[in-house]
Chains A and B, each alone.
Chain A
Amino acid sequence: MLPLPLLLTLALPVRAEPPHVFGVRPALAPLYTPISSKTPPTWKCLDGSLEIPFSAVNDDYCDCPDGSDEPGTSACPNTTFYCRNEGHLGAVIPSSRVRDGLCELECCDGSDEPEGLCLNKCEETGREYREQVEAERKLRKTGSKIRSTYIAHAQKEKKRLEKELVSIEAEIAERQAEVDKLKAHKEKTESISAATMELKKQSPLYFSLITHSKALKSFQRVHKKLKERERLLGDILTGLRDGYNPNYQDMAVLEAVRGWEAAEGLPPKGSEDDDVVVNSPAEEEELEEGAWTEGQLEWQLNDLINQDYLDLLLQHETYLESLEKPSLLHDLSSYIPDSIRPQYESVRDTLISTLQSVGLIKGGSNEVTEEANRARIAFEDAEKRLRESSENKEDTEQELGRLFSAEGFGKSGEWKKLQDVCLEKDTGEYIYEVCLFGSAKQKAKTGSHSNLGDFSHWNTQFSTDDPQYYSKQYYTGGTRCWNGPERSLTLHLSCGTENVLHSVSEPEKCEYHIVGQTPALCLPLEIEENPKVEL
């Protein structure tokens, strides 16, 4: 592979070639020398298979099996012809197109056809080409400067992340220590509290409460049954009252009806305001102070029965304790000067819990369970904080890993700067939005959008060393198409001074292609961008 300038210098000095090297690539020209020792001079086919008279080279007759004797004619099949294109770049075409009456675009010098048929446009074509190359070069130069700032950014990011990692690690160590400490504390308090709870349940008060509750429950069930029965009987009697035939004078019936009317405060059947309740059924019952009304019984009894009796028990004890004067040890803190109080408290807590655990003093037994609760919450909080830190660490490590990797932001980290940069293209019908390394969307003007996928990989058809590798980004796993695949997007990128999207197409159903440019692809000029150009 030769760099471009060299290629041009090679092409230019060769002029007025001898006829036998017509159509031969400059690099192969030395091979077209006659073997002068023979008379007439001979020539060996390039594959060495045959020796032919030198005059048979380019005589429009194919002698060599490899076709090498006819570089400048179309006599041999499957061979190539080289046009020198002076003023521009040499080009290779299939020999079959030589002398076919058509001017080949590749041969701007017209050498593929007899003289006079095709104009020599090489000067013009070459100039345009060089201008274009120069423009690209400029673009690349500017682009690569921007790119270098991207790389610098990545370096900074790296340092920042590394620093962050160090501090996270320190934080983790710290939090781990705290978790260990709180865990021990939690376990200790829990073992104490479970035992005390059992002890408390032995309280006669609690025992009696439970019995009361059970009795209430049974009472409520019976009450409900009776109410239902009363309603039923009432219905029967109301039915009787509405439906009986007063003309039959059945005294038993009449008495039942009158009795019912009296009990319910209904007017005698047949009176004018039949369906108006005359007076309230019974005079307001005199209620004992604090006694429940029927409504309360119906609605509030459940609350009473469903009370958490254990909780009640604990509340009760707290209440009792508040009445007692706390022991000196418990409340010594009020006598301690403020300045040394924290130290004292921590010593005290340790002391108390030690004393409690060996049964030397009676702990505020409620405090014990509450303490257990607090210990558990504190432990869980600490654990959560630790988890957060670990996750944070993982994230940071991952980010650091992606920073200079071919799967992530490129080996030089030149793409890092573009993470979460969102580019848009308005096609009139839709707005396409690509958040680089994030997700892509097709947004309708109505506000709804289709997800076109999330960033998944680079162009893995090429090796990670090939610049082509970074020329395509694949976004996959978008919203599923009706009767089709999930939407996906291929972002085709090339070097440009701006991050911009140029055009959108959908060559296959639900597979979108967007063409765009980015400075991240502008390699410095000294690095060959496309190693595949041949002479």
Chain B
Amino acid sequence: MGKFRKWLTRLGMVAFCFSDAKGSYILPNLRDISGCPGYTLTNVVHVHSPPSSAIIGDLILAGDPCDAYGDDLKHLRLSVDYEDETRIHLKIWDASRQRYEVPESVLPRPSNKDIQASASQITLNYTASPFTFQVVRRSTNEILFDTSRHPLIFEPQYWRIKTDLPPNANLYGLGEHTDSFRLPTYNHTRTLWSRDSPGVPPGTNLYGNHPIYFEHRKGGTHGVFLRNSNAMDVKLDDLYDRTTLEFNVIGGIIDLYFLAGSESSPAEAAKQYSDIVGRPAEIPYWSLGFHQCRWGYSDFVEVAHVISNYSSSGIPLETMWIDIDYMTDFKIFTADPEYFPTARLREIVDYLHLRNQHFVLMVDPAVGYLPGENYQTFDRGVQDDIFLKNPNGSYHLSIVWPGVTVYPDWFHPNITEFWNNEFKLFFDPATGIDIDGVWIDMNEPASFCLYPCLDPFEQAREQDRPPPRPASPPKPDTPIFQHDNTFTIQPRGGFEKRSLLAPDYVPKNYFGTLSEKTAHVTAVHHNGLKEYDTHNLYGTMMSAATRRAMLARRPKERPFIITRSTFAGAGSHVGKWLGDNLSTWAQYRFSIAGMLGMASIYQIPMVGSDVCGFGGNVTVDLCARWATLGAFNPFFRNHNIEHTLGQEFYLWDLTTEAAKKAIDMRYRLLDYIYTAFHRASVDGSPVLSPLWFKYPADEKTWDIDLQFLYGDSILVSPVTEEGSTSVDIYLPDDIFYDFLTLAPVRGHGTTITLKDISLVDIPVHIVGGSVIPLRVSGAMTTTALRTKDFALVVAPGLDGEAQGSLYIDDGTSLVQDAISDISISYRLGKVSLTGSFAYSSGVKLASVIVLGLEEAPLVVLASSGGVSLGELDVRFDEQNGYTVITVDRPLDHHLDLVFEV
């Protein structure tokens, strides 16, 4: 092949069959790569004298080039670093030319302790020619990653690394996706390329990109992260004796991190991943309350009604949201003077704030292209020159809600100033809309312009954007209520000339060509980087910029931001909702796997799906069930599309009841999950877990994704079938306790059927061996909740012991003056509270409830630091076998409760 094929490619004709010189047929992505020669490793040098085991070396093309999707690179460089005991970093790049790699300003690299291979839990063994390698777990000699049958291919716009895995491998991650949590391994491709994905169809690339997978085996769990933001296909396939996994990437470099994980504790893999991509940002306490939103609220009057209706129906509403509807012709940083006048929105915000409730608005990235129309955000953007451009220097135009738009260039040195200023002006507490959090959307970035988008103005007209308002405005006086952003390129050899629009290897983007309905791959950032390379970073960069802007407004408070598009590391800036789903049972079911991906693997624990579903009309049954499941979404928001029936919980009696019951459970557990969020921010511990994180040796748990752990000790098993009032749940060989009755339920490693689960109920169990801190009751707001006393539920495991913890702080400050971090343990008839008690919560420990006892202790003696506090009242529930010990003491000191039996 050669010239002929290239000529065809240029004409965009590779989709047709042509016979090449070798007589084989050319189809896109079906080039013959069997003859690719691989590389020979030479000049291996130990970078540092011992104790380091880091090496660098040259990779030289080992034979005749195969030129599968471009000319094989002749000379590559390799580096291998043992960065710490659990992490190996392998990097391969072009020795002679500059290639794009993910900028450190977007995703900083982890620190490198540069240890000796012998101190590492995993080692990398290689064969020099052709160069292949294996990653091995030292304790078990198990091969975790093995390229020995698959020589490396590296071309300017295509590279491939392929590993053999055990048959029917247990793989998780590679999102964002709506496939099963345990990935299908037969002929399955996961494409990573950010895409506005209405209806979140399974099997397609969605909004976010997380090139990380965990693999679980009997002998342990490990992780592999590819630090690369180019479009890629990760292909999985089953052969008769093994599973294979390959990265097919159209740019960037090979930048792999191997994480040892653990032989016994899968959560360790999650924690190690947080070392690379950063740990989740701490969230404000109030953001765990219930949120209500919809697209299509017609005016401020309707929004006020929704707030009032929640209040009068007795359903706790923590935060009210408004979608793009509030804007003037959907222009960001404007409020419609007729439908959502600033003064009336301010009234709503004041009303909410007075009642300790909160307010969130949406901000999209795209700015209406309206030169000379006194649209100040656009004018200031032009002045600051911060919009994304075409190669010829003109603005890169697209179509979003306001019609023809331009995108902010998050790489531009002026962007922080611009974005901060827009937030400061529009969300000014004194004159503007004093939001408590912000919702960022359409940041894939999404466009409605169909490629090649030659005339966006005409397309915008055809699409009727911005559309007119569907109703007349209300009367204006209608009463209501009563860092551093620069990325510099080191000069080295210059960039390869590339065909950005038509790479020979075509990733399986669901929209077809990579530029479809988004910024074109040819668009250029201020620092010269192309969207071809950085597309997948756009949403995360907007997230970081928005976090800075929110911090500039309220410098001492933790920002609350929810985004749609994410890349690895986004969780250190923002939370994420699972996008524009549909009101169907299937979507209700796979929302669980979606959350698990974000919360247990990608380090974005503040996650949830649109409860009751976004697109389409929801049925009352589904909405009731989803209300109960939503109460166990870390981010709990009811959201709906325009022009459908309302689905606010108060609209039906059934959903009102379901929501009240579920929110009561959620709020009583709020400090429990808040503690989990704090742990995540400290060490990356997952906030949600699949069952197998807790029971890694139990094979039956490996593909369960309709039950999950909320925190690490609450098992949630929702009813998942339409019309059903029963659910088959799997209980591993362990002891569990029903959350509501507190009765013990012994699991035997079998599936049991729970019957008569009404539409307003959800089965929830406490996992044995844990101590769960609860508020004694729910409340209408999280502020009110913080005045409720605590109770501790001690749920002994099969060994009769239990551990738990409770973290308390002021709930909002970035830097805390004082915190309480209390460890609770139960062993041999003694409950001990130890740790720090510095934060003054102003509430008491009302009681300790010990579950699963056959008989009540005769006497319970309390003491603190060796000082006796006397005997405590005890009440025993014979039916469900639990003991309530009345403590009624401030939660400010160590406390021991000793049972005399």
- A481, B296: Cα distance in complex, Å: 12
Q: A448 is contacted by which of B298, B467, B615 (Cβ under 8 Å)?
A: B298
> B463's contact among A448, A449, A480, by CB below 8 Å, is which?
A480
CB neighbours (8 Å) of B617 from chain A are 429
**Contact indicator B643/A450 (Cβ below 8 Å):** yes
Q: Is A125's beta carbon under 8 Å from chain B?
A: no
B65 contacts partner chain A, Cβ-Cβ < 8 Å = no
Say whether, besides A429-B645, A447-B298, A479 and B470 are in contact (CB < 8 Å). Answer: yes
Asked if B641 is at the interface of the complex by the 8 Å CB criterion, the answer is yes
Is B643 a contact partner of A442 (Cβ separation < 8 A)?
Answer: yes
Q: Give the interface residue-count category, chain A.
A: 10 to 19
- Measured CB to CB, the nearest residue on chain B to A477 is B464
Q: How far is the CA of A481 from the CA of B615 in the complex (A)?
A: 10
Q: A480-503 interface mask toward B, CB cutoff 8 Å, 1 = contact, 0 = none?
A: 111100100000000000000000
* CB of A49 closer than 8 Å to a CB of B: no
* Across-interface contacts of B184 in A (CB, < 8 A): none
Which residues of chain B have C-beta atoms less than 8 A from A429's C-beta?
617, 645
B residues 224-276 near A (Cβ < 8 Å) are none
List the A side residues contacting B464 at CB < 8 Å: 480, 486
Residue-by-residue, is A439-453 near B (CB-CB < 8 Å gives 1, otherwise 0)? 000101011111100
How many Å lie between the Cα of A508 and that of B337 in the bound state?
A: 36
Contact A449 B471 (CB under 8 A): yes
Q: Provide the bound-state CA to CA distance between A449 and B468, in Å.
A: 11
B28: Cβ under 8 A from any A Cβ: no
Verify A480–B642 contact, CB threshold 8 A.
Answer: no
Cβ–Cβ < 8 Å partners of B199 in chain A: 483
> Does chain A have a CB within 8 A of B413?
no
**A446 near B298: Cβ-Cβ < 8 Å:** yes
Smallest CB–CB gap between B474 and chain A, Å?
A: 9
| Chain A contacts for B467, CB-based, 8 A | 479-480
Whether A446 contacts B643 by the Cβ 8 Å rule is: no
Q: Chain A residue with minimal CB distance to B295?
A: A482
* Other-chain contact of B470, A430, A451, A481, A483 (Cβ < 8 Å): A451
Instruction: Let me know if B878 is at the binding interface, CB within 8 A.
Output: no
**Residues of chain B lying within 8 A (CB to CB) of residue A447:** 298, 302, 471
> How far, in whole Å, are A447 and B305 apart by their CA atoms in the complex?
13
- CB pair B470–A446 under 8 Å, yes or no, is no
B166 located at the interface, meaning its Cβ lies under 8 Å from any Cβ of chain A in the complex: no
Task: Tell me the minimal C-beta distance from A442 to chain B in angstroms.
Answer: 7
Interface flags for B286-311 (1: CB within 8 Å of A; 0: not) read 00000000001010001000000000
Once the chains are docked, how many angstroms separate the CA of A483 from the CA of B511?
13
Tell me if B470 and A448 are in contact (CB < 8 A).
yes
> B198 near A: Cβ within 8 Å?
yes
Residues of B within 8 A of A480 (CB): 463-464, 467
CB distance from B620 to the nearest CB of A (A): 12
Q: In the complex the two chains form, is A482's CB within 8 Å of B470's CB?
A: no
User: Using a CB-CB cutoff of 8 Å, which residues 421-473 of chain A contact chain B?
Assistant: 429-430, 442, 444, 446-451
Interchain CB contact (< 8 A) of A482 among B198, B298, B471: B198
Shortest Cβ distance from A429 into B: residue: B645
Please report the C-alpha to C-alpha distance between residue A450 and residue B646 in the assembled complex, in whole angstroms. Answer: 14
Binary CB contact string for chain B from 442 to 466 against chain A (1 if under 8 A, 0 otherwise): 0000000000000000000001100
Min Cβ gap A489→B in Å is: 14
* A446–B198 CB distance below 8 A: no
Which of B198, B298, B470, B642 gathers the greatest number of chain A CB atoms within 10 Å?
B470
Specify which chain A residues have a CB less than 8 angstroms from the CB of B471 in the assembled complex. 447-449
Q: Which residues of B contact A483 (CB under 8 A)?
A: 198-199, 580, 615
In the bound complex, CA of A446 to CA of B651 (Å): 12
Rounded to whole angstroms, the CA-CA distance of A444 and B646 in the bound complex is 9
Residues of B within 8 A of A486 (CB): 464
CB-contact partner of A446 in B463, B580, B646, under 8 A: B646
Q: Among B615, B641, B643, B646, find the residue whose CB has the most chain A CB atoms closer than 10 A.
A: B643
Give A442's nearest chain B residue, CB to CB: B643
A451 CB to closest chain B CB (Å) equals 7
List, in ascending order, chain B residues with CB within 8 A of A449's CB: 470-471
Q: How far is the CB of B1 from chain A (nearest CB, A)?
A: 40
**CB-defined contacts of A442 to chain B, threshold 8 Å:** 643
A97 to B298, CA, bound (A): 60
Point out the residues of chain A lying under 8 angstroms from B302, CB to CB. 446-448
Closest Cβ of chain A to B399, distance in Å, is 12
Chain A residues lying within 8 Å of B470, measured Cβ to Cβ, are 448-451, 479
Shortest beta-carbon distance, B813 to chain A, in Å? Answer: 39
CA distance A447 to B301 in the complex (A): 11
The B-contacting residues of A in range 197-249, CB under 8 angstroms, are: none
- When distances are taken between beta carbons in the complex, the residues of chain B under 8 Å from A481 are 643
Cα-based distance from A160 to B495 in the complex (angstroms): 78
What are the residues of chain B within 8 A of A451 when measuring CB–CB?
470
- Give the chain B neighbours of A448 by CB distance below 8 A: 296, 298, 302, 470-471, 643
Least distance between B447 CB and chain A CB atoms (Å) = 13
- Beyond A449-B471, A450-B470, A479-B470, whether A444 also contacts B198 by CB under 8 A is no
Q: How far is the CA of A261 from the CA of B899 in the complex (A)?
A: 84
The chain B residue with its CB closest to the CB of A484 is: B198
A482 with B645: in contact, given A446-B298, A448-B470, A449-B471 (CB under 8 Å)? no
Q: How far is the CA of A252 from the CA of B339 in the complex (A)?
A: 67
Residues of B within 8 A of A450 (CB): 470, 643
- How far is it, in angstroms, between the C-alpha of A447 and the C-alpha of B580 when the chains are bound? 25
Q: Distance (Å) between the CB of B642 and the closest chain A CB?
A: 7
- Max count, chain B CB within 10 A of own CB: residue among A442, A444, A450, A481: A444
CB distance from B644 to the nearest CB of A (A): 9
CB-CB under 8 A from B643, the residues of chain A are: 442, 444, 448, 450, 479, 481-482
A430 to B643, CA, bound (A): 10
Interface flags for A254-287 (1: CB within 8 Å of B; 0: not) read 0000000000000000000000000000000000
A481 to B464, CA, bound (A): 11
- Chain A residues within an 8 Å CB radius of B298: 446-448
Are B642 and A482 interface neighbours, CB within 8 A? yes
Interface residues of B in 459-508 (CB under 8 A from A): 463-464, 467, 470-471
Beta-carbon nearest neighbor of A445 in chain B: B646
Q: Which residue of B lies closest to A483 (CB)?
A: B198
Chain B residue at smallest Cβ distance from A428: B645
Residue of A nearest to B298 (CB): A448
- Complex-state Cα separation, A482 to B646, whole angstroms: 16
CA distance A447 to B641 in the complex (A): 16
A509, closest chain B residue (CB): B616
Instruction: Tell me the residues in window 347-376 of chain B with beta carbons closer than 8 Å to chain A beta carbons.
Output: none
Cα of A442 to Cα of B470 in the assembled complex, Å: 10
Chain A residues within 8 Å of B580, by CB:
482-483
Partner of B641, one of A446, A479, A482: A482
User: For the complex, what is the distance from the CA of A442 to the CA of B642, rounded to whole Å?
Assistant: 12
Tell which of A448, A449, A480, A483 has the most Cβ of chain B within 10 Å: A448
Nearest Cβ on chain B to A424's Cβ, whole angstroms: 17
Of all chain B residues, the one with the shortest Cβ separation from A510 is: B643
B478 CB, min distance to chain A CBs, angstroms: 12
CB under 8 Å from chain B, chain A span 388-431: 429-430
Q: Which residues of B contact A446 (CB under 8 A)?
A: 298, 302, 646
In the bound complex, CA of A480 to CA of B460 (Å): 12
A447-B471, A448-B298 in contact; A482/B463 too (CB < 8 A)? no
Complex Cα spacing A429 to B618, Å:
12
How does the 8 Å CB contact mask read for A158-184 relative to B, with 1 for contact and 0 for none?
Answer: 000000000000000000000000000
**Mask: chain B, 190-201; 1 = CB below 8 Å from A; 0 = not:** 000000001100
Contacts A444-B645, A480-B463, A486-B464 supplied; 12 other A-B pairs, CB < 8 Å: A444-B643, A444-B646, A446-B298, A448-B296, A449-B470, A450-B470, A479-B467, A479-B643, A480-B467, A482-B615, A482-B643, A483-B199
23 A/B residue pairs, CB under 8 Å, sorted by A: A429-B617, A429-B645, A430-B645, A444-B643, A444-B646, A446-B298, A447-B298, A448-B296, A448-B298, A448-B302, A448-B471, A449-B471, A450-B643, A479-B470, A479-B643, A480-B463, A480-B464, A481-B643, A482-B580, A482-B615, A482-B642, A483-B198, A483-B615
Closest 3 CB pairs between A and B? A483-B198, A448-B298, A448-B471
